[in-house]
Amino acid sequence: MPARSRTPSGRGPGSSPGVTLDAFTDRYAARTHGMTASEIRALFAVASRPEVVSLAGGMPNLSALPLDVVGKLVGQLVEGRGTTALQYGSGQGDPVLRELICEVMALEGVEGSPDDVVVTVGSQQALDLVTRIFVDPGDVVLAEAPSYVGALGTFAAYQADVVHVPMDADGLVPEALREAIAAVAASGRRAKFLYTIPNFHNPAGVSLAESRRDEVLAICREAGLLVLEDNPYGLLGFDGPPTRAIRARGAEDDVIYLGSFSKTFAPGLRTGWVLAPHAVREKLVLAAEAAVLCPPAFNQMVITEYLQHHDWQGQVASFRDLYRERRDAMLDALTQLMPPGTTWTHPTGGFYVWLTLPEGLDSKVMQPRALTERIAYVPGVGFYADGQGGRELRLSYCFPDPDRIREGVRRLAGVVEQELDLLETFGPTARLHPEGRTLTETPAPDMA
Ligand SMILES: Cc1ncc(COP(=O)(O)O)c(C=O)c1O
């Protein structure tokens, strides 16, 4: 339908005040139809209010960063090498940083050549570039159920068809992966890659067991499926040394590996990377140049200086301590306060706990009541491409201090109890609106 003419404010002559219609609707590319605000972004404004305990966002806790050290090296960089640092750089990324990235990856057993590393604007851009070079509209991408909301957004933007693969407490279930691959093949299609977050999963808070890693790789190899291994949290494990990456298992031709400095240093520097098979690396550099010409030289040099002249591994160890304390606070509070029927995962690293509500409750329906009670979480439905997740929600423990976390869980437990009371009173299909004025039907999962 052609767009009607609009006033300069974007409003049609007959439209009601305050309603801004989009005058460009009939001109957008088809790929924009899959682009929607994520559940997390939608929550951001309300969750940032000081009276709300936000267990919603996944922002790294930078309170432990040595800002004096970073400030000093930034100043020295600009004064001493500003004409290089503030100049355009290589499309593939700074060669010195790429060497250091190989040393970082070696901590998780990954042996890669700096030649096969592409520096990106966060690992989010790496997700975009990989999808851009592999996925045509309608292609299948396999992803864990649930999966990282930013990756789902990218897959939607490239019109991929996401098929979810179930997980359990040990991560992706190999048998379910086999079944998903077979089901896709039976429909006459082939998946382009398996997108997986093996360590301290966002949002599920589980990790792929060591004993499953070779098997997952073997299944993908047999099916001719690339593995897109996204590992921003791998160094943030609470219980000992990291588990060897999938890429570290002789898989240089089968795995595209993504890393990031967002969780181990600072997300504001927007620097991540891809380690890819050589031929793929060539295509990625072309795609990256078309997108951004080159990643920011300045940010890369800040990171290079930081890695070379600061005890960055000691810093990561203090991040681990900080997050472990918060994880403990959340798990203890959940154990003490949550009503029976509620279950949750037990992360051994990273930022997230994945919670399943008692039967009959819906995290999206419950959200207005939770916000009224000043507690924010992310409803589970946003972490699936197919409308699952109605009973589930994500809690982050990375940012608030332990007392706030305990208070947040206390509020959440109260909200769940109120919802259970209503369920008992009105039955499974009716739920009292938090304001107490209207009764709303519990939406089917695919409408939530
Ligand atoms: C699993 C996963 N992948 C990728 C990203 C993107 O990270 P960045 O672009 O900051 O490197 C995130 C951020 O939260 C994440 O959780």
Nearest atom of ligand 1 to the alpha carbon of 267: 10
Q: What is the mean pLDDT of residues 419-437?
A: 68
Residue 200 · residue 350 · CB < 8 Å: yes
Report the number of secondary-structure helices (H) and strands (E) in the chain: 12, 16
234 CB near ligand 1 (under 6 Å): no
Strand order in the sheet with 140-145: 117-120, 272-275, 255-260, 226-230, 191-196, 140-145, 161-168, 171-172
Residue 124 Cα to ligand 1 midpoint, Å, equals 6
Residue 183 Cα to ligand 1 midpoint, Å, equals 29
Which of 37-51, 69-83, 278-292, 362-376 shows the lowest per-residue confidence on average (mean pLDDT)?
37-51
Nearest atom of ligand 1 to the alpha carbon of 121: 9
Residue 381 · residue 389 · CB < 8 Å: yes
The confidence band for 439, taking pLDDT boundaries of 50, 70 and 90, is very low
Mutate which of 120, 124, 236 for ligand 1 pocket (most atoms within 8 A of beta carbon): 124
Residue 53 · residue 395 · CB < 8 Å: no
Residue 339 has pLDDT above 90, yes or no: yes
Nearest CA to ligand 1 atom 6: 124
Mean pLDDT of the chain: 91
Q: What would the pLDDT profile of 268-301 be if each residue is shown by its tens digit? A: 999 999 999 999 999 999 999 999 999 999 999 9
Residue 232 Cα to ligand 1 midpoint, Å, equals 6
267 CB near ligand 1 (under 6 Å): yes
Mutate which of 38, 123, 228, 323 for ligand 1 pocket (most atoms within 8 A of beta carbon): 123
Q: What would the pLDDT profile of 251-274 be if each residue is shown by its tens digit? A: 999 999 999 999 999 999 999 999
Residue 226 · residue 141 · CB < 8 Å: no
pLDDT of residue 362: 97
124 CB near ligand 1 (under 6 Å): yes
Residue 423 Cα to ligand 1 midpoint, Å, equals 37
230 CB near ligand 1 (under 6 Å): yes
**What residues does 172 pair with on adjacent strands?**
167
Q: What is the pTM of this model?
A: 0.90
**Residue 194 neighbours by CB under 8 Å, 6+ apart:** 142, 143, 165, 177, 216, 220, 225, 226, 227, 228
Nearest atom of ligand 1 to the alpha carbon of 197: 1
Residue 9 has pLDDT above 50, yes or no: no
Residue 236 Cα to ligand 1 midpoint, Å, equals 14
122 CB near ligand 1 (under 6 Å): yes
Residue 430 has pLDDT above 60, yes or no: no
Q: What would the pLDDT profile of 153-203 be if each residue is shown by its tens digit? A: 999 999 999 999 999 999 999 999 999 999 999 999 989 999 999 999 999
pLDDT of residue 234: 98
The confidence band for 241, taking pLDDT boundaries of 50, 70 and 90, is very high
CA distance linking residue 400 with residue 297, whole number of Å: 33
197 CB near ligand 1 (under 6 Å): yes
pLDDT of residue 10: 40
